[in-house]
Amino acid sequence: MPGKRKRPDQPQHDAAYKNFFTHSQTVADTLRLAAGELARRLDFATLERLPASFVNKHLDQRHTDMLWRIGFTGGGWVYILILLEFQSTVDRRMALRVLDYTSTIWMRLGGEDLGPDGEYPLVLPIVIYNGKSRWTAATDVGHLFGPVPEKLLGYRPRLRYLLIEIRSLDLASLPPDNVLAMIAGFEQAPTAGALEELAGSLGNRVEAIEAPELAAAFAAWIMHVLTQRFGGAGRELRRKLRAEEEGTMSTLIERARKWGEERDQLWLQKGIEQERQASMQRERELVHRQVSRRFGPGTAEQLMQVLERISDPEGIAIIADAVVECETAEEFLKRVREG
């Protein structure tokens, strides 16, 4: 079977990473950064996310089912299929998978989605890869076939996907306020110190691009990145970060940096019941805001009944994980109620 299964500690990190691409700002910045001439012909005011039902129900769990649509400045649409690749090894059949997903999208389009003469819209598949090794798989399905006689070349299928290798992007040439560039900066940070320095300026960058909804996505992802670097103390650190997080990137990183130096003393001082209750209330309010932004105020209000019954930070941390891991409000509410 191609590729390697995810490590057990990866799904939450992957879900937090995937959450970036539920935001239109991330998708728009990805297109501006990687789509070249095509990006200059797009009307970004028309960018909209489409239901996951457009995509094959058998979509492999290693990939997202993100589908967006954006208009050309001169009329017409292009569909943007975003696939995130988290494997530690390269999937040599990716081009074949892309062909499957793309043809499924075309088959599910209705007559109202076609051009005046029944023309099908362009589908632009984008594969975003964050593995350590270079991507070596074919980016055109036609390159998966062996030699064929010249007269049969026209029958060989052709379909390309746009490959973005996060860890190979040239950071020096990227605009600093681009969301994809920010993600690449974190992926390429060579040391924990570099990660801290980068995070210190991240809050201002998010504010500068007027995308406050991305702050929660970055916060969730940063916590998973940090916990991986702190090894076995990761889960406990993540719980305490959430209990103290005040909504800024610099606060998160500062809490993580001090954990190794002041772990016992810091949390002993905050162990009195009054402080614990105040911390719990801040954590409830943070999760409530995240749910309201992701799934709407109605879902957030239903969640409050569950939050009030939880008496320990770990229980709220589990709910916060569900915010980035669940696709729909129905899935989220079912999960937190059963949990």
Count of domains forming the chain? 2
Give SS3 for 138: coil
Between strands 42-49 and 66-72, the pairing is antiparallel
Output DSSP code: residue 121: P
Does residue 30 sit in the same domain as residue 172?
Answer: yes
pLDDT at position 63: 52
Does residue 150 sit in the same domain as residue 16?
Answer: yes
Q: Which amino acid is at 13?
A: H
Last residue of a domain, one of 124, 155, 181: 181
Does residue 151 sit in the same domain as residue 201?
Answer: no
Rg (CA), the chain: 22
Both tokens of residue 137? 């798989």
Q: In 3D, which of 231, 235, 230, 280 has the Cα closest to residue 258?
A: 230
Does residue 115 sit in the same domain as residue 264?
Answer: no
Could you please report the per-residue DSSP string of 37-66? GGGGGEEEEEEEE--GGGS-TT--TTS--E
pLDDT at position 313: 74
- List the chain pLDDT tens, one digit each, 339 residues: 444 444 444 555 566 677 788 888 899 999 999 988 889 999 999 999 987 655 555 555 445 568 899 999 988 899 998 888 876 678 899 999 999 889 988 888 888 888 888 899 999 999 998 888 899 999 999 999 988 898 888 888 999 999 999 889 998 898 878 889 888 888 887 765 666 666 666 666 666 666 666 776 776 677 666 666 555 444 554 555 455 444 444 454 454 444 434 433 444 454 445 566 667 777 788 888 888 888 888 888 888 878 877 777 778 888 888 887 888 888 888 888 876
CA distance 88 to 135: 10
Domain range for 311 is 190-338
User: Within a domain: residue 2?
Assistant: no
| C-alpha 155: how far from chain center | 37
pLDDT at position 228: 64
Does residue 176 sit in the same domain as residue 86?
Answer: yes
| C-alpha 270: how far from chain center | 33
